[in-house]
Amino acid sequence: MTTTALPRTTNAWLITNVRRTDGARVDVSIADGRIAAIGPNLAREPGVAIEDGAGALLLPGFVEGHTHLDKSHWGMPWYRNEVGPKLTDRIENERRWRAQSGHDAGAQSLALARAFVLAGTTRLRTHVDIDTEAGLRHLDGVLATRATLRDVLDLQIVAFPQSGLLGRPGTDALLDRALSAGADVLGALDPALIDGDPVASLDLTFGLAQRHQKPIDIHLHEPGEIGAFTLGLLLDRVAALGMQGQVVVSHAFCLGALPERERDALLTRLADLRVALLTTAPPSTPVPPLKTCIEKGVTLFGGNDGIRDTWTPYGSPDMLERAMLIAMRYNLRRDDDLALALDCVSGTAARGCGFTHYGLHAGARADLVLVDADTLAQAIVARPPRKLVVANGRIVARNGAHAQHRPAD
């Protein structure tokens, strides 16, 4: 429901001779931006352009479930990180930097979004900083990027109060304006440990979301018992307000460190209320348990978080790298387990974010990636250059470089 409707852009064409991850050789026929059919030996209609897949592995376009396009230094001179270790150090350092650096959120979000497309991402949720100093400047930049890339990238914008909601009066009014101005989702941040008043903070957030009929994506870094407490308050509001299927809890570190019984009770509530979880799979922090989430029916999907910004030097627009880091974090080694990691940045992420018409089936939007790899597991660990990226039915990249749509047999 939060997806951007992309225009129909292409006539019929055919990709031949690709391998699904189950090994089956198939062709993919594409028309009007959708997958018309997928299967072995599809009919080759006269006049239909053909792209020879040459036996490449067929993957769906990737989904970035949580990043911050607006604050990246991607492609710029290196930002020297001399920031202190606390969450508040990072927030305050960034606010100073944002005021002084002349950072261009429009140009930077465009540069990084294009790098995502090049590496095969066709759907992306980005959290955009909104605060009383920057106002809606970053939002304006990312809205421009969304408009520029609307034919190739389905971009969801979260209006994110990076400096907190309660501590800086006027932030709620800015979020309200952001949601009116085109933000798809309302963000939030640590209602107890940043805002200092979890009930007031959550009530304000849910009230705003309800008024705009928009979903919520909350950054919940709060650890252990305090995180569990906040999460419980959040789930109460989801139930009371009927916002099932409309809320994502990002990070949710607390679910990696609670006693099993307490954790499982929360997972059961998350599943019942269809509240999804997002993890970046940080190796130095507890994370929600992937396989237990799957067993209990909790949607757990993946993302980078920030990429080369004042918070972190890490991150990459290559979602196969994020899949690898997720797989390593959960110690997935078997080939069938590695498929779970790809799910985190493809089908499960699309479900978590509410991206529609997604997947490798007739009727889905034609968002495809071809790579030279024997298997899905090899694609994840070797991360070969993308042989072909198709977005919205059009070729947008070939052999790791941006390309015009021109199928070539």
Does the protein bind a second copy through residue 223 (CB under 8 A)? no
Does the protein bind a second copy through residue 329 (CB under 8 A)? yes
Q: How far is the CB of 284 from a second copy (least distance, A)?
A: 4
Does the protein bind a second copy through residue 325 (CB under 8 A)? yes
Q: How far is the CB of 380 from a second copy (least distance, A)?
A: 8
Q: How far is the CB of 17 from a second copy (least distance, A)?
A: 19
Relative to beta strand 216-220, strand 247-251 is parallel
Residue 115 or 185: which CB sits closer to a second copy? Answer: 115
Select from 171, 170, 168, 147 the least CA-distant residue to 159: 171
Does the protein bind a second copy through residue 294 (CB under 8 A)? no
Relative to beta strand 13-19, strand 247-251 is unpaired
Q: How many CB atoms lie within 10 A of CB 374?
A: 11
Q: Which residues, 114 to 153, sit near a second copy by CB under 8 A?
A: none
CA distances from 31 to 143, 175, 184, 267 (A): 28, 39, 28, 41
Spell out the residues 6+ positions from residue 236 whose beta carbon is closer than 8 angstroms to its own.
Answer: none
| Alpha carbons 400 and 409: distance in angstroms, whole number | 19
Among 330, 354, 395, 407, which residue interacts with a second copy (rule: CB under 8 A)?
330
Are the CB atoms for 112 and 72 separated by under 8 Å? Answer: yes
| Alpha carbons 233 and 15: distance in angstroms, whole number | 50
Does the protein bind a second copy through residue 403 (CB under 8 A)? no
Q: How far is the CB of 104 from a second copy (least distance, A)?
A: 19
Does the protein bind a second copy through residue 97 (CB under 8 A)? no
| Alpha carbons 240 and 232: distance in angstroms, whole number | 12
Select from 213, 211, 166 the least CA-distant residue to 188: 166
Select from 6, 58, 50, 53 the least CA-distant residue to 32: 6
Q: How far is the CB of 25 from a second copy (least distance, A)?
A: 17
| Alpha carbons 277 and 234: distance in angstroms, whole number | 13
H or E element at residue 351: helix 347-353
Does the protein bind a second copy through residue 282 (CB under 8 A)? yes
Q: Which residue has 């036996």 as its token pair? A: 55
Candidates 12-20, 43-51, 327-335, 384-392: pick the segment binding a second copy (CB under 8 A): 327-335
Does the protein bind a second copy through residue 312 (CB under 8 A)? yes
Q: How far is the CB of 391 from a second copy (least distance, A)?
A: 25
Does the protein bind a second copy through residue 384 (CB under 8 A)? no
Burial of 140 (0-12, 13-18, 19+ CB in 10 A): middle
Question: What is residue 365's DSSP assignment?
Answer: B
Residue 195 or 222: which CB sits closer to a second copy? Answer: 222
Candidates 34-42, 47-55, 356-364, 376-384: pick the segment binding a second copy (CB under 8 A): 376-384
Does the protein bind a second copy through residue 328 (CB under 8 A)? yes
Does the protein bind a second copy through residue 356 (CB under 8 A)? no
Select from 299, 330, 306, 323 the least CA-distant residue to 377: 323
Number of alpha helices (DSSP H) and beta strands (DSSP E) in the chain? 12, 17
Does the protein bind a second copy through residue 313 (CB under 8 A)? yes
Among 204, 377, 388, 390, which residue interacts with a second copy (rule: CB under 8 A)?
377
Q: Say how many residues make up the chain.
A: 409
| Alpha carbons 363 and 29: distance in angstroms, whole number | 11
Does the protein bind a second copy through residue 324 (CB under 8 A)? yes
Alpha carbon 350 to its chain's center: 8
Does the protein bind a second copy through residue 225 (CB under 8 A)? no
Among 22, 82, 260, 409, which residue interacts with a second copy (rule: CB under 8 A)?
82
Residue 201 or 316: which CB sits closer to a second copy? Answer: 316
Does the protein bind a second copy through residue 83 (CB under 8 A)? yes
CA atoms within 13 A on the CB side of 190: 19
Among 7, 40, 47, 77, which residue interacts with a second copy (rule: CB under 8 A)?
77
Among 100, 213, 331, 404, which residue interacts with a second copy (rule: CB under 8 A)?
331
Among 45, 225, 295, 374, which residue interacts with a second copy (rule: CB under 8 A)?
374
Does the protein bind a second copy through residue 292 (CB under 8 A)? no
Does the protein bind a second copy through residue 35 (CB under 8 A)? no
Does the protein bind a second copy through residue 68 (CB under 8 A)? no
Question: Which residues form the interface with a second copy (CB under 8 A)?
Answer: 77-78, 80-83, 281-285, 308, 311-314, 324-325, 327-331, 333-336, 338, 373-375, 377-378, 380-381
